[in-house]
């Protein structure tokens, strides 16, 4: 049987994927990756490292914006319009409601981040040209173009039946087509010679993307709490919390109250000789994100239960 948590998460995920702003951010991020090899050409020796730093930073910022928009629009709007009270009046607790909403938003955002990660890997494989006569990496270019066209066509076909499902269908198809497209650069060298190899896949790039996902989940939990308190006004508040958490971290008297987003932004790692991230750092960051998210969701549930109880007393 489908549990209430699963149903709420599934409906919320579909709702987020249908939002036009979600598709705009996804397309803008992918276009940034298309331009990144050209932009990184002007770094005078650190072209590839700059591309990776730019790519991870763009992925992180796009994910944060997506989760803040998704949570504030789904949770904040329902609480402001009191449609959430219909669910809470049934045997669905505040914790299930809020957790389902956050899980649905994170599911939609995770699909976008997965697509961004593969697109970034392809951009790093194409890399900025070091000289005018360098061979173009046609396997990677062909993979990126083929996957993009496949996703676009799938979205167009789906939109003929349900116009609002274009973004959802295109993103789902893009995750599949970009995954399959990785086979081309894995199997072929830039000159199309058959040389199976995956050494061009930077593990630190994957670790950085995973850390970005943790940071996105953390901001999502913060945005849930802000949505319970402020409704749709949670969006500017969440972006303010992110800016403060990134700029200040825990380096001021009440810094422990803010989420430390500096832990998840590791672009400088690409410029060090030893770029591998210690497993201890990854484990510590994951534990921090899980603990902070749990605390935020517990506080959100308590506040929503309290406000619902007050509302029921006033209507008696």
| 107 vs 116: CA distance, rounded Å | 14
Point out which residues pair with 194 in neighbouring strands.
188
Among 26, 51, 29, residue whose Cα is nearest residue 267:
51
The residue written with tokens 């945005």 in the block is 223
- CA distances from residue 45 to 50, 128, 149, 275 in whole angstroms, order as listed: 9, 11, 33, 17
Question: pLDDT tens, 22-48?
Answer: 999 999 999 999 888 777 666 556 778
Domain boundaries, the chain: 4-314
Question: pLDDT tens, 221-245?
Answer: 999 999 988 877 888 999 888 888 8
**Confidence category of residue 62, pLDDT binned at 50, 70, 90:** very high
- Of 61 and 82, the one with more pLDDT: 61
Sort residue 74 into left (φ over 0), alpha (ψ -120 to 50) or beta.
alpha
Helices and strands in the chain: count of H runs, count of E runs: 12, 0
Which range scores top for mean pLDDT: 41-45, 141-145, 308-312?
A: 141-145
**Confidence category of residue 52, pLDDT binned at 50, 70, 90:** confident
Question: pLDDT tens, 81-120?
Answer: 666 666 666 667 888 889 999 999 999 999 999 999 999 9
Q: What is the pTM of this model?
A: 0.91
- Of 307 and 71, the one with more pLDDT: 71
Whether the predicted pLDDT of 310 surpasses 60 = no
Question: pLDDT tens, 151-163?
Answer: 999 989 988 888 7
193-210 average pLDDT score: 89
116-144 average pLDDT score: 84
Question: pLDDT tens, 258-288?
Answer: 888 888 988 777 777 666 778 888 899 999 9
Question: pLDDT tens, 1-30?
Answer: 578 889 889 999 999 998 889 999 999 999
> So what's the pLDDT on residue 93?
81
Mean predicted lDDT score pLDDT of the chain: 85
| 305 vs 303: CA distance, rounded Å | 5
């Amino acid at each position: 049987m489908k549990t209430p948590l699963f149903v709420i998460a599934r409906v919320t995920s579909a709702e987020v994927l249908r939002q036009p702003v979600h598709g705009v951010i996804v397309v803008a991020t992918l276009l940034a990756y298309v331009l990144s090899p050209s932009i990184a050409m002007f770094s005078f020796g650190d072209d590839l490292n700059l591309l990776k730093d730019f790519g991870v930073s763009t992925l992180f910022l796009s994910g944060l914006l997506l989760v803040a928009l998704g949570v504030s629009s789904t949770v904040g709007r329902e609480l402001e319009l009191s449609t959430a009270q219909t669910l809470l009046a049934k045997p669905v607790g505040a914790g299930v409601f809020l957790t389902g909403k956050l899980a649905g938003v994170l599911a939609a955002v995770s699909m976008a981040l997965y697509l961004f990660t593969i697109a970034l890997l392809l951009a790093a494989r194409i890399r900025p040209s070091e000289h005018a006569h360098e061979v173009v990496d046609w396997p990677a270019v062909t993979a990126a173009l083929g996957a993009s066209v496949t996703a676009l066509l799938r979205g167009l076909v789906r939109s003929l039946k349900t116009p609002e499902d274009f973004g959802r269908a295109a993103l789902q198809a893009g995750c599949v087509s970009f995954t399959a497209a990785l086979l081309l650069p894995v199997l072929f060298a830039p000159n199309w010679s058959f040389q199976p190899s995956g050494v061009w896949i930077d593990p630190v790039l994957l670790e950085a993307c995973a850390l970005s996902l943790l940071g996105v989940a953390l901001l999502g939990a913060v945005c849930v709490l802000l949505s319970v308190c402020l409704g749709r006004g949670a969006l500017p508040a969440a972006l303010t919390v992110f800016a403060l958490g990134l700029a200040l971290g825990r380096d001021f008297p009440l810094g422990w109250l803010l989420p430390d987003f500096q832990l998840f932004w590791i672009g400088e790692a690409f410029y060090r000789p030893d770029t591998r991230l210690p497993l201890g750092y990854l484990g510590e960051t994951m534990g921090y994100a899980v603990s902070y998210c749990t605390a935020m969701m517990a506080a959100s549930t308590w506040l929503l239960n309290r406000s619902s109880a007050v509302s029921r007393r006033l209507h008696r």
